[in-house]
Amino acid sequence: MHIRTTRILIFSFVMGVALTDALFAQNDKREMTIKVEVNKRTYVGKPLVWDGKNMQLLRRDGRMTFLPVKSHDDYEVVSNDFSVMSRNMMVAKLKKEFGDRYTVSSTSSFLVVHPHGDYQKWAKPFEDLNRRFSAFFSSRGQKLEEPQFLMVAVVLSTRSEFDRMLKGYYQANPNMLGYYSPRSNRIITYDQTKNDEDSIFDTNTVIHEATHQTAFNRGVHNRFGDYSSWLVEGLACLFEAKGVHNSYIHTRRKDRINSSRLLAIQYAIKKGKAKGKLEEIIRDDELFRSDDQLAYAYAWGLTFYLAETQPREYLRYLRNDAQRKDFTAYGSKERLESFAKAFGSDFDNFESRMFKFLMKQKVTLPKGYTLR
């Protein structure tokens, strides 16, 4: 599941404008903690950006909250620095929020809310993926940031509970199995295991969303910056493959192939549906709205091609993308220029080489499946 909907909420009133310099000039570090009262509720956190009407507040548990703040009289500075909420406080808040029907398990980097049961089944897989995610980058010469906040993953007991919570972030979608929200900084999914032996990571959905969360919390993507959907979704699709998210065991190149994405992009290439889409998917995110199946397949194919054939350039491109200024628009012209600077401006030639590479990749087809 892509996270564009939440991204629109984050940037809707500050696109192209960086106002923190003007409105918070009295605090050079901009690490102050403020208190805002709205409708008899008190919110405490760090102001991220303010347009004179609305403020985005980073709360001490990592959530972002949008508040109506129209003047300096609407908030109170309570500290000249900002500290994150302690592990014990976050555990207590989650237990209060989800009640006795759920357990809150703690790992080094995660707090996992889950049905009563074994830590090894519910919580450990998230920490394992975080470790393997770090290893993927460190083996390629890039050390990741440590998460500022404990990452929260919520595994609900039933689909109906998931649907009710889903309405708070997205339109109803029966095909959605989980999502990551940059706004709440949480993964939300539900129990899709068949028995006690199954892992929560037996479905690609949770791996995909956990990759989003880890990437946005460890500096691979900028949680407070605009981004290209192909870059964010392509990396998450890349990690769906067992040879990427568990390369300790699955070490061959064919293990790094995401079979379903490869079949989809090969079909699109064969039918001519993918031709000319490179410039389009770099320029804007329209393809994710008009044909999301092709968009995801193309994003994976582009990411896989870069990761396999130009890994240094790909990682440099990721680093540069994450370092763009917070809360500023990332327009079509800049997107195209950034890609051209990294990989060349001859998009047709690049796409042709990518297609040849992808069409050479082999995957074991499901019984009865033919690529037509």
pLDDT digits (tens, 9 = 90+) for 331-355: 999 999 999 999 999 999 999 999 9
Name the percent of the chain lying above pLDDT 90: 71
Q: Which of these ranges, 9-13, 27-31, 322-326, has the smallest mean pLDDT? A: 9-13
Where do the structural domains in the chain lie, given as residue ranges? 4-79, 87-217, 229-360
242-279 exposure pattern, b = at least 16 Cβ within 10 A, e = fewer: bbbbbbeeeeeeeebbbbbbbbbbbebbeeeebeebbb
Token readout for 141 is 């010469």
Rounded CA-CA distance 84/93 in Å is 14
For 4-79, the fitting CATH number among 3.40.50, 2.60.40, 2.30.30, 1.10.8 is: 2.30.30
- Residue 236's CB is within 10 A of a number of other CB atoms, namely 26
- Bridge partners (DSSP) of residue 36 are 43, 75
**Interval 114-142: pLDDT, tens:** 999 888 888 999 999 999 999 999 989 99
- Cross-strand pairs, 155: 189
Higher-confidence residue of 145 and 199: namely 145
Q: What is the pLDDT of residue 260?
A: 94
Residue 236's pLDDT is what? Answer: 96
- Lowest mean pLDDT, pick from 13-17, 49-53, 251-255, 308-312: 13-17
Question: Could you tell me the pLDDT band of residue 165, with boundaries at 50, 70 and 90?
Answer: confident
pLDDT for the residue numbered 368: 52
Answer yes or no: is pLDDT of 366 > 60. Answer: no
Confidence band of 5 (pLDDT split at 50, 70, 90): very low
87-217 placed in CATH 3.40.30.160: yes
Q: How far is CA 275 from CA 71, 264, 322, in A?
A: 51, 14, 28
Same fold, 4-79 and 87-217: no
For 52-67, the pLDDT digits (tens) are 899 999 999 999 999 9
Cα dist from 45 to 24, 30, 90, whole Å: 14, 12, 14
Mean pLDDT to the nearest integer, 298-305: 98
Write down the pLDDT at residue 117. 83
SS3 string, the chain, reads CCCHHHHHHHHCCCCCCCCHHHHCCCCCCCCCEEEEEECCEEEEEEEEEECCCEEEEEECCCCEEEEECCCHHHEEEEECCCCCCCHHHHHHHHHHHHCCCEEEEECCCEEEEEECCCHHHHCHHHHHHHHHHHHHHHCCCCCCCCCCCCEEEEEECCHHHHHHHHCCCCCCCCCCCEEEECCCCEEEEECCCCCCCCCHHHCHHHHHHHHHHHHHHCCCCCCCCCCCHHHHHHHHHHHCCHHHHCCCCCCCHHHHCCHHHHHHHHHHHHHCCCCCHHHHHHHCCHHHHHCHHHHHHHHHHHHHHHHHHCHHHHHHHHHHHHCCCCCCCCCHHHHHHHHHHHHCCCHHHHHHHHHHHHHHCCCCCCCCCCCC
Where residue 251 falls among pLDDT bands split at 50, 70, 90? low
This prediction has a pTM of 0.90
**Residue 366, both tokens:** 């499901």
